[in-house]
Structure 1
C-alpha cells in the first residue's frame, strides 16, 4: 500500500474507536472493530479467488451492513468495486459486467441464476459466516489504483463506465470532512443506491471520520414519511438527498425544525424548496459536481434571501468558464464549465475516443501537463461573483438526481424492428418531469394492432433501461417536425399538448367507486387518459414521490388511507382497490386467499403453500389455468408474524380443511401443492376421505415423500444439493431462447431478491450484529425451517383416491425413486407425468404452460 486510501483512513478509525457503532441497519448495529473483521473475511475470499490489484469486482447485494463489509473488503484486496443494482434490468447488468471485464462477482447464491451468462468467479457473501481468520489480511489498496467504476447513462445506447482512483476519492472525502463539515459525533443517513455515485459520501465519509452510518432500506428511501420518522428516531444529524427527495419529505407532513445539516444536490435546488428547508434544518448546503470529477466538486451554504449558487471548488479543484473556442468568459457572460484538479476521473472504461473528447488538455496550463473535464454545464458569474447554474449545452438531463442521456433511450427504442425513428424529450407535467418518447413506425398500424405494438416497444425499454429512464409515454407520430437545418425539432415536440394521450396498456375499466377515484387521480398526476385498472403505476411514468402524492390525494378525496409500502407489491388500481376493500370489511387474517375468481358452479382448485409459507409461487400457474375455475391459495399460519405456526403436516391439514370448507362446504375437492405443499394436500385428502368427503384430485407438484429420505444423509448432501439446484436453473435457462429466457430469469430473480433480504437479515442475526426483535423480517426463513422439519417428520398413510404426480425430467441425487416415494402409499391410482423441465422450473413461464395443461385436463374428467 502506498500513501493514503479509504481503507488506511478507515483502519485508523478502527484503532481510535474500535467499539463505536459504525453502521446501523434495521436494528443491526456493527462496531468499527466488527466491520473491519468482517471486511477482512471478504478480502480473504477475494485473495483465495486470486483477485489482484487493479482487478474489477462486481458487487450485487441488497442494502445491508454486509454490503458495506463487501465494499471495504474489495478495496482492501486492492481491487475496484463495480456497483450492480439488483433492481436494474438484467440486460443492463450483463452489459456492465461484460464491458468492465469484471472477473469476480460478490452476490448471494439465490441471485446466481440472475447471472446465468456470467463466466467469472461467483463469491457468495454468506461464506463469511464460515471463515475464521487467524491473522489480519494485508491492505493492498493503492492511491494510484482504481477505487471504483460506476456506470452512467451514455448517448450511444449503452451506459459508460467512469473510472475513479483512490487519490481522487480521498481528496474529495478529506475536503468534505472540512466543508460542509462532519465529525465523530455525527450520524449520517445513507439512503442512496450504491449505483448512484453520491452514495460514496454517505458510506465512506462517516467511516474515515469515526461517525455513524444509519442505513435506510430501499423501501424507506422511497417513502418521505418513513425517512422523516427514521431521521427523528435514529437522531440523524446529516442527510444528503436530491431536491426531489427533500420535497417528498416536506410533502409527507414535515413541519418542525430538526437539528440537521442538509446537503442537496443532483439537480438544481429551487428557491421555494430552499426556503422551506431553511425553516426546518440548521444548515442547508447546495452541492454540485459530475460523476467524472468524483461526486461533488463544489458546495455552498444556502443563506435565506441570497441567490442560490454553486459555491467555490473543493480542495485541489479548479473551475474555468469558457466560450465555444475555450476562451475565458467575462463575469455575467454564460459559458461552459471546465473542471480540473485532483478529482478528475482517469477516463471512460474502454472508450478512448470519448475520453479524449470529454477530458481535454487544460487550455490554461502553459506546461500542458494537466487535463480538464468538459462538463457540458452552462454557467456564469453573477454580479456578486458567485457561480450560477443555467442549464445544459446538450441533450443530457437530470431527473430526480439521475443523469440521463436522452440518446441512450432513443437508441434502445430504435432496436425494435417496427420503429423507423425515435425522438425523446422531457416534458414537465404537474411539476413533475416526464420522459416522452415520440416515434415514427415503419408501417402504419390499425387502431386494433397499435396498442400491442406500443406495449412491445415498452417491453424492450423495460428490459434494457433502469426504471428512471423508462418513458412515461410512447407516442406514435406520422412524421417529426424539423428545424430549418432538417434536424428533429425537439422544442416543438416538447410544446405539444399531450393531455388527450391515451394509455395503450390495460383495457380493463374501473368498476367500483374506489377504482374510478384512483383512475381519475392517476390520470391527473400522470397526464394521460384511458388508464385501465391493470396498468402498472411505475410503467406509466410514476415513481415513489408521485406515489406518495397519489395516495395522499386518494386519502383526501375518500378519507381512506393506503400505506405507501403497499405500492411495492400492489402497483395496479385493481390491486390497490382490493387492499381498500379488505381494510373496509375489517377482514381477519385468513390462510385462504382468492388468487383468481371464476365460475361459482365449478369446484375450485386449492393450492397449498410451499415451505416458505406464501403463495406467490402459484402466480403464473393461476394465470394459465382454465379461467372458468376459481383458484384459491392457502398461505401458512404465522406468515403475518403474529399467528401460531403449525408444527406438523397433520395440524396444517386439519386447519386448512376448515378454511376450504368455508367456501366449499362439500366435495368433490381439487387440492394440490408444490414440494412440501403437496404433502399437506395429500394429508388433507386423507382426512377429508376419512370424514366421508369426496376428493376428486390430489396434485403433487415436484413433491417427494420425505419419509423415505434419511435426514442425516440429506444434511451431508446439503451443499451438493445447492450446487445441483443452481445447475438445474442453468439447465432450464439454457433450454429457452429470446423473450422466454428473459421472462424465466426475471421470475427467478424476483423470488431471489425477496429471499436475499430475508437471508441477509438472518445472517446478520447469526453474526451477532442484530437485535433479537427481528423475527418478522425473516419470517419466511423461520417458516421454511419449521415446515422442512414437519415434512421430514411426516409419515403418510395409505390413500385410496386418485393422485396426480407432476415431476421434472431429472431429479436431485437424493431423490432417485421414479415414483418420488408414493408408489406404496397411493392405492387408488398414481398417475405420473414427466415434464420437460428441470427441478424448480415447472411453476415459471414458459414451463408452467405444460403444468397448467395437465392440471386442467385432469380436472375436466
Structure 2
C-alpha cells in the first residue's frame, strides 16, 4: 500500500491499521503537518523537525539501501543508533519492509560489558546486520566480529516510489527488545506487528490520546517505553512528538520540566526516580517562575515502584506552576506487554493510605489474574499472588529461547510476570517482585521497597542504591547487602553508613550484612536509569569489591577508636551480648552501643538479655549513660548502684563542635524517642535529652511545672554554663522548653534556637481531656501496643475496670512479641502510666505567659482535624509569645510519627537547616564549650 492508496477516515470509517507500517502511512496521510521534533541539550531551543511525510520518505530511501546491503525478512537488524534523527527513520525502514529491528544502546563507559553485550547479541541473533554511525563504529570493541553497516553511507540517493515496499503482515516479527538483565543472560522479547497495533489502539483509548497531543520523550531507544510509549503511540494518533537525549535530563532534571513548559507538552513518560530527583532539586532553591505546566494532561510513571509520598510531593511542588493534581499516572507494563498496559488515573486520591501507588486498571483487551506461582490456582481474596496477563499485546515469547518462553507463558497464553500483586475491584497493586526478593529467616523482602526508602537518606545519592541477597560462608540464611553511592567525603562516610544501617533496621527490622559505599561509576544502569543489581551482585560475589570493603572497614574502625579486647568476666560477657545483638563475630569493648547501630528497641533487648544472663537489673538510663561494654561493665561492677542522684540530662550523642542541642521529653517522660534523631547529628553537635524524674527507684516525680523547669535549667547549665543555647521540646516538652528559654533569657543568656515539635502554647485544654485512662492509652499507642483506631475505642471500655485491669488489658492488646521487645510487664507499664499521668496533671495547670526572642515550630498532622486548621488556629498562637516572627516549618508525618522511623530522616534534615540558620557556620559559637 502506498501513501496515495491509503484511504482517509472520511472515505472509509471502517479502516483500521493491521500492521505498524500502516500506522505511519495513516499519520502521513491524515496529519501531514504533525511529526517529530528533535531537541538537543537546550530544552527551550527550536527543535529539528521531521514531519510524518518526510519520515516516511526517509524510511523508504533507507529501506532500499538496507535491502541492497543484505537485509531481508528473517535477518534481524540491530539499530545501534542514539540520535532520534538517525534511529527513527531506521526503525521505520525495518517496519515498512518486514525487517526485524533490535534497538541497542552502546555501553561506552564499560568496554568489558559492551564487548560481552555484543558477543551475546551476535550469538543470540545469529549474525545480525548492525546499523550504526561512523563515530560509534570506531568505538566498538575490536574483538567482536559483526556485519556492520554505516548509516551515513546508506542514507544517500534518490527517494524511490513507495508502492510495493510495504510487505509486512500482522503476524510478522516487528521488534526484538533485549531485556535489562545482565548482558550474558539478556533475552530478546518478540513483538509482532499485531502486538504493536493492538497495544497502540488500547493505549490511545486509555490515555484519551489524539492528534492535538504534544508528547515528550527523553528515554533512550533500547527501552521499550521510548519506542512504543514515546514514539509509536503519537504516530498512531497522529500527534506531534518531541525527543531529547537522556544525558540532558539526567544531568539536570529541571530540563525535563523546562521542556514540558517551553513546548506546551500534554503527555510524557518518566520513571519514578526522576520525580525524586526533581523533588530534591526543589530543596536546593526555587525553580524558574516562568514554568507553565498547565497544559500537561498526563505524566506516565512506570518502570519501577512509585512511592505515594514521592508522587504527592511532586504534585504539590509543581502545583504553583499549573500542574494538575491528577496529572501523574503510575503505570505498569513490561517489554513483554508492549510497555504500559495498566494505568492508575486515580492517583493520588485513591492511594492516600498506601506506601506504594497502585498501578491501576488494565487497558481494553488485557486480562489480569492473580495466581499462586506454584500451582496456578487463584489464592484467597486479599492474598497476594503472581500477576498473570493475557491479551493481543502480549509477546509470543523469547527469540530462539524455547525454555524461557515455556517458563514465562502458560499453555493457555498467560504471561507469568514474576511480579506479586493484589487485584481489588479491577485495580492492581503490586506487592513486590519475586525475582528481586531477599529471603531472610524465611521472610521475603523486596529490593525496590528498600531502595526507594534509602534514596531519601542523607549522604546517599538518589537512584544509586542496590539491595540484594548474599549468603556469607557458613550462613544458613540469605543476608542483605546494600551498595550505595555516597554524596559525602571520606571523613563523613561512617555517618552515612550508620544512617543507611539505621534506616534498614527501622524499615525492615534487621541489619544488613554488607553496607558498602562505592563510586557512582560502579553502578551499571539500564537506559531507563534503573540500577542493574545483577551486575553489582556478580561483581561483589567475584570479590571485585574486597579491597574497597577493607578500606571502608578500616575507616569505620578508625572512627570508632580502634579495637580493644574485653577484660574481665563482666566486660567479656557484655561484649558477647553486644556481638549477638549486632550480628558480629567480635566487638571492641570500647565500641559505643549506638555507634554500632543500636536502636531504642535494642536498648530494651540488651536490658532483657543482661537480666537473663548476668542477673543484673539494667535500667534504660544505664545504657544511655554508659554505652560501651567497658563503661557498662564498670557501672555494673561498682560496689553500689543505689542512691545515684537524679540528673535529667541524658547524652545521646557527645561528639561534634557545634552548640549542644537539648531536647525535652514528650508527655510520656522518656527520651528513647530521641535516640534515632540524635544519630543524625553525630560528629556535628552534642545531643542531650531531658528525662523526667520518677523512673528510677526512690525518685519522686515533679510536683509542679515550675519545679520541673528549675531542675532542667540547673541541669542544662551544669553541662553548658553559658549561651547561646539550642533548646527544643517534643509535644508536651515544647511548653517546658519555652519556660526554660524564658528563665535563661531572664538571666541574660541568649537562646539562639528554640523549637516546638508540633505543640501549641496552650496545652491545658488537651491535658484536661486526658484522665488516667486516656493517658495510659496514649502511652500504649506511643509504645506501639495499640494502633490509632484501637486507641479511639479503648477508653470507654477501660473506664469501668479497676486500674490494674486497665493496664492488664492494654498489655493483652499488644501484638505478639511487642512486650518482649519493650521489656514491659504489668508493674513496669503501671509505673510508667502513673508517671505520664503525673506529667499530664502538671500540664492542666499550665498557662503560657511572657515572650521569648524567637521560636521555630515544626508542624505535623494533628491528632484530629486538618493540618491547615491546626497550624492556623493553634500553632500560630506562638506568635503571641515571641518578640520576633516565629518560623513555621512543615514536616512529614503525624504527631506520633514525625520523628519515628519512617520520617526521622526528613525531620533531621529540616531541623539541621533551622539550626544552621540560628548558628551560621562563620559565626562565633561559644556554646560549643561544654
Normalised by the size of structure 1, how large is the TM-score?
0.48
Which structure has more relative contact order (CA 8 Å, sep 6+)? It is 1
Normalised by the size of structure 2, how large is the TM-score?
0.45
Q: Which has the larger radius of gyration?
A: 2
